Structure 1
Amino acid sequence: MTTDATTDAAVGTPDGRPPAPLVPLHCLLRGEAGPPRQAVLPTGTPVWVLTRHADVRQALAHPALGRASLYAPDAPPTVLTPNILDDPSSILNSDGPGHQAIRRTVQRAFTPRAIERWRPWVDGVVRELVDGLVASGSPAEVVGALTKPLPVRVISRLMELEGLDTDRLGYWSDHALSTTAYSAEEIAAAIREFGEFGHRLVLERRKNPGDDLVSSLVRAADQTGEMTEAQITSLTIGLVIAGHETTMTSFGNALVYLLDPQRAEHPQRAEHPDAVGGAWRRIGEDPAAATAATEQILRTVPLGDRVNAPGQLRRATADVEVGGVVIPAGAIVAADTTAANADPEVYPPGPLDLFAPLGTPSLTFGAGPHHCLGAWLARMELELGLHHLARALPDLRLATPVDRIEWRTGLLTRSPLRLEVAW
């Protein structure tokens, strides 16, 4: 989820060239895991690229490799067009004690009891949407019927935003996570409007608190006194975006992956040919299989196509040794979680066992102080969505050839704009 997490959604190809824009993400070539190497960002700024699992995990957890210093007065430019992830006051771009204070506040609202309490109605939302898709008849367009409304419905319920203009939410999200789709002026205007909405929401829930997530965040922040009003507002709108963007993206991409009839032919993400046809049915028959497949899909199918930066960006505040190389103070580091998630020293090379448990957690949601706060929600929605859809429609198939899928482009994340399916 975007809040504190998805800067790795936009990452660059190993040779610096942008990938073909209409290729399913599970077909893109990954950078091979290897020693730290030097490259150049689109802004012209030099960067150290880390691709091995151990190196990436070390960088994401190291106190001398932070986010806040990316926005220091002497920092070189790292993005061509700033978006919502480039707000210096946000939790994503804070480090050290200040960052930990904010996370402590937020975690008061994300208790295990709350998470388990939400599962039954998330399950209910999934079932309702799947039933509606089935009732509409074959063929159907699954993005508009399921992958997009599911996370919007869930985050609206969590934050008690029933009645929220979903078209406006999509507008805000697309601009907030834009890389090339909109101008800097358009992005700034949309983020400003979104921020005004978030501030009104915070003020209203402070005045009339309820049992929703926003009220819990405001109450926790006011009790601890460790967050400014701007930080509470930034976190609130970040959760609105994060609460639906990652799930919509991963769900749509997962369906392309699972229903792609040529999946067994892709060398980097191949499965045993005899396992491809039965994988979808198994996900529907066994909730545990859906859980395992969710973890493997999150590990192997990236959220974005790595055009704007070669990984999660950090800046060294002191000399740091990573992978046998000394990264000098002031240097920019890119932690390529996509490559790290395929490191053959950690994950078995060769045909993918979609239902094998991960021996080592993936780095899809980051690691260390900035590990995604909402990773549990994205996982829950994806595993429930895949399980119930596969159970209801065990013969589901793509109704549009993979090479003719319409994609959302120019954003940090990439997923199908439309996805026709049949059964």
Structure 2
Amino acid sequence: MNRKLLLIFLIVVCLIIPNYSYAETTAKPLKIAFIRDGFVWIKINNKEEKITKAKGVYTNQPEWSFDGNYLMYQKEIPTGPTASYPTRSEIWIYNMKTKKEQRIISDGENPKWSPTKNIFAFLDSGVLNVSDFKNFYNIALGVDDYNWIPNGKGFIASSAAALNPDGWTNPVLYKITLPNDLKNISSATNTVKQFFVVPKTLTKGNTSIPSINASTFQFSPDQKWISFIVNPTASWSMDSDMLCIISSDGKVFEVQDEIILHLDNPKWAQTKNILGYIAGGGRLVFGYKNKKMNITEMPAFTSTNLTPPHYAELGFTWCDDTSIVVSRVKESEWSNDEKKRPKPSLNVINLSTHKQLKITNPPTGKGDYNPVYSKTTNKITWTRKGELDVVGNVWIANLDGSKPEILLKNVSSYSIFER
């Protein structure tokens, strides 16, 4: 009898331990901020909580501070009929520990957290500022776009081309340093150094554009390369923009490829100097075509197209240095009937084996958009919705598409804090 009981006990233990170990290695809790029904919400340990009191228009997804202790969001406020612009953008901060929100800036745009401290930068009428929640400091003037240097000690920034009687000037790139103590800033020009003058015209193949703006700066993992996008005039930029790469010392500059805005921004791999982007000009109303998933390896500037014939890409995310998930449709002409337009599904691309696998099958009338890799869980998230829908459901699944489930319902945007 004792031997039988011992055998039963060992069998039960063997059955339980593998399941327990799997749960420990995969079931890490997510920390998510999202917008729903005009309010900012958070979801932690599978519990949802509304953190804003008043309903509003939140123009961008919430952004986590580097340590996850604060959340930043922008609230659109009507300005009235006499104002130069119909709305202004307030910048708010939510303290995760005190559970209190605070309006920091009454009118600012393009806020970005420091990658190393609980301070953030923002633009106000071309002035680059940094705020420590109590005060803000003027850093530089005439800034069109910017990004933090990864060590948090400064910025790369651009000025836009200006139209003079004799034609357009050039966009110019600058490097800006920050003192350790923001109170030591005495001038908005002393810490600014010109870095690179963008040529007035950029050409790739048979396509040329005038250089008006330089934006969307991203550093390679080793910080030796910087990718950015050069735009022509506003309406023109809907059809053609140029992805550029420059070395961090400014000695090497390359017009890499033609792209368009409003699909997905170029992104570097996690640890290798490989830049991913969706190549191809022409707005989508000209057809779902000529949108290819490309990767470029630095410093060789070697490019590879990953999209098979007769398909087009709408978005992508890196999962690691050797795998990418794309939001993909079959090539198609444009239709004024939204029901006849192709709806995307997700596909995973293995760069080592060159194998590609379709991993989602959205129902009729829905598409799988904006894939986002979550390092915390080693899973993929995405938004499933109709093409014209403002809100959708956020799904999560394993990287091969297995075990899909709804993570958030009726969400317009979301942001995952990655530890």
TM-score by length of 1: 0.24
Say which structure is richer in helix: 1
Say which structure is richer in strand: 2
Structure showing greater relative contact order (alpha-carbon pairs closer than 8 Å, 6 or more residues apart) = 1
Larger Rg: 2
